[in-house]
Amino acid sequence: MNANQVIQIYKKDSQILSSSVIELPQTNRLKYLHAKMRDKVASKSQFIFYADQVFRLLIEKSLELVPFKDLDVTTPVGETYKGKQFADPICAVSVVRAGESMENELRHIDLKIPIGKILIQRDVVTKLPTLYYSKLPDHIAKCRVLIFEPMLATGGSAICAIQILIDAGVLEENIIFVNLLCSPEGIQKVTQQFKKIQIVTSSIEEYLNANAFMIPGIGDFGDRYFGTT
Ligand code: PRP
Ligand code: MG
């Protein structure tokens, strides 16, 4: 699978899933990063170290999907270099708490991109999401928006976050959902409801277990990244 190929097969039972889901190429290097991060004995600092490297790949891939326009510059030897710059304003929106973990890598790439916040928490028993707070950039309706959410399990939190952006005037086709792990079940639910969004993920997992954990999975991402276990 190369980086520009879209996933068209729903892994679990070979149904057509969507043409808008991009899984990063499953290279040995990416599998190494996943192994180090997923290992249950990884310390908090190891977990952050490897997760951040995968986030960088995910954000870079996501930023390849937005339109660019020409940017010509004059080099020190007096010649023109024909480069590119974003054609539209870009912003990111983190789904707090786990999504905030992706912000550092975005800041390493581009400090000017504004970051909105949506606080959604999943009930530990019902697994249903509750929205507590959102603060979005004023001009978000004109933006290409990266949603930062490392975990897509049942899909409830993702659907809630995407709907908030659409209610704020963001075009569905301008949303890129940046994700570390997703379940086949969750991704199907999200793409059925929002057919025009794009999802960039580093792994489509095997399945969701009865406790709404992805398998083979990574455990509770927020607890591991922020050290609250
Ligand atoms: C977790 C995870 C995702 C969400 C995914 O959030 O971080 O946001 O569940 O599950 P879903 O697809 O079934 O909705 P949670 O609210 O548990 O905790 P967090 O504060 O650590 O992000
Ligand atoms: Mg969360």
pLDDT tens-digit profile of 177-227? 999 999 999 999 999 999 999 999 999 999 999 989 999 999 999 999 999
Query: What pLDDT sits at residue 4?
Result: 39
Question: What single-letter amino acid sits at 137?
Answer: P
155 CB within 6 A, ligand 1: yes
| Second CATH level (architecture) for the domain 7-226 | 3-Layer(aba) Sandwich (3.40)
Q: How close is the Cα of 128 to the center of ligand 2, in Å?
A: 11
Out of 130, 147, 157, 225, give the residue to mutate to test ligand 1, the one with the largest number of ligand atoms within 8 Å of its CB. 157
Tell me what pLDDT residue 18 has.
55
Complex ipTM value: 0.97
The whole model's pTM is what?
Answer: 0.92
**pLDDT at residue 14, as a whole number:** 39
Specify which residues 122 forms β-bridges with: 129
Return the axis-axis angle of helices 28-38 and 44-64, rounded to nearest 10°. Answer: 140
Place of tokens 């908090």: 44
Low pLDDT (below 70) residues in the chain: 1-19
**Looking at ligand 1, which atom is closest to the CA of residue 154?**
13
Helix (H) or strand (E) holding 30: helix 28-38
| pLDDT at site 19 | 59
Q: What is the pLDDT of residue 229?
A: 82
Q: Per-domain residue ranges for the chain?
A: 7-226
